[in-house]
Amino acid sequence: MPTSDAPLALGIIGAGIMGERLLGAIHGAVDSPVRAAAIWDPAPEALDRIGAAFPAVPRVADSAAVVAASDCVYVASPPASHLGYARAALAAGRSVFCEKPLAIDRGDARAFVAEAGGAGAVNFPFASSPGVAALERWIAAGAVGTPRALTVAVEFARWPRPWQADAARWLDARGEGGFTREVVSHFLFLARRQLGPLQGLAGRIAFPEPGRSERAIDVTLTAGGIPVTLTGRVGGVEADDHNTWTLEGDAGAVRLRDWAIAERRGADGRFEPEPDAIPNERLRPITLRRQLEGVVRMARGEPHHLATFAEALDVQEVVESILTL
């Protein structure tokens, strides 16, 4: 377990968009608490792209070399491979920072969480989001009062989104992909963290195109006993990626819009953004740097704010249940 003040050696398995974004956060900080120790991807073209963007990051021959070079391993590969890499890292005494979902198979994910204990965390960036922090301040100050209902809505012009086109093979397949796993999971994590356990699922899901991922969901459940309405759809909208998470209570309402913008409903019924709110393109690097600070604390065995394996499993249980409605 690393204990020094030296930067944490973080190895990365997976050179897709998530690995690239995390490298950007590491190299974009003046005094990063993390250094990129190694990266590997089974696709040579992906490694070549990362090498061109981040030439100082060592590209290694296989996943075992990533583990050997690291104190903590970031698993950013497609979902079906997550647990194999995570188990190998834990067996070597490394901590793990894993992309969601933990796995596709719920039984395997349950077994992994029982095995792994607290030696890792999952990358749900809402755990570090300044936008979410603004919501929490408002809620604590009484802006919502007693919560009465949560509404979550996600919409996409097409799926996968344009910046994910290179990963369409798995992102638009029923086995590993779809917007419920990729996007809705974040908002379910936020509901669980803010309100409580997720239960009482009912609704419907549409798979109109053979072999491809879902195109619509219409679901109800509860979070900590609070009614939740969850909808999602692909097509019929212009925005590549639009979403809202709206909590209403007896004293008012707050919402998170488009991943980043914290808004509070005024007396006139209109939602107004928090004065310091910035769009997700500008907020993401800030959030990821806060995630990395949490990774350092997690790897050193210190208290941290990141999503735990147990929290991620709870979210996965609901996501996979939605996909079988």
Q: pLDDT per residue over 182-194, tens digit each?
A: 999 999 999 999 9
Q: Indicate the CATH number for domain 8-123+286-308.
A: 3.40.50.720
Q: Rounded to whole angstroms, what are the CA distances from 115 to 78, 90, 170, 289, 310?
A: 21, 10, 27, 29, 11
Q: How far apart are CA 33 and CA 242, in angstroms?
A: 33
Q: Which residues pair with 218 in a beta bridge?
A: 204, 231
The CATH architecture annotation of domain 127-278+314-322 reads 2-Layer Sandwich (3.30)
- Reported as a single tens digit per residue, the pLDDT across 74-119 is 999 999 999 999 999 999 999 999 999 999 899 999 999 999 988 8
- Numbered ranges of CATH 3.40.50.720 in the chain: 8-123+286-308
pLDDT higher at 27 or 306: 306
Cα angle: 7, vertex 9, 10; to 5 degrees: 120
4, two tokens: 């020094």
DSSP code at position 257: E
- The mean per-residue pLDDT over the stretch 65-74 comes to 99
pLDDT at 3 over 70: no
pLDDT at position 272 is 98
Q: Would you state the pLDDT for residue 117?
A: 85
Range(s) of the chain covered by CATH 3.30.360.10: 127-278+314-322
Q: What number of CA atoms fall less than 13 Å from residue 185's CA on the CB side?
A: 28
Whether 152 shows a pLDDT value over 90: the answer reads: yes
pTM of this prediction?
0.96
Q: Which residue do the tokens 């030439």 mark?
A: 55
CA distance 271 to 42: 46
Q: What are phi and psi of 115, to 5 degrees?
A: -75, -45
Tell me the CA distances in angstroms from 322 to 188, 209, 231, 265, 302, one per residue in order.
12, 17, 11, 30, 35
CA–CA gap between residue 99 and residue 203 (Å, rounded):
27
Report percent pLDDT > 70 for the chain: 99
Which of left, alpha, beta for 188 (phi over 0: left; psi -120 to 50: alpha)? alpha
Cα three-residue angle 259-261-267, rounded to 5 degrees: 135
Q: Which helix (H) or strand (E) holds 44?
A: helix 44-53
Instruction: Identify the pLDDT of residue 166.
Output: 87
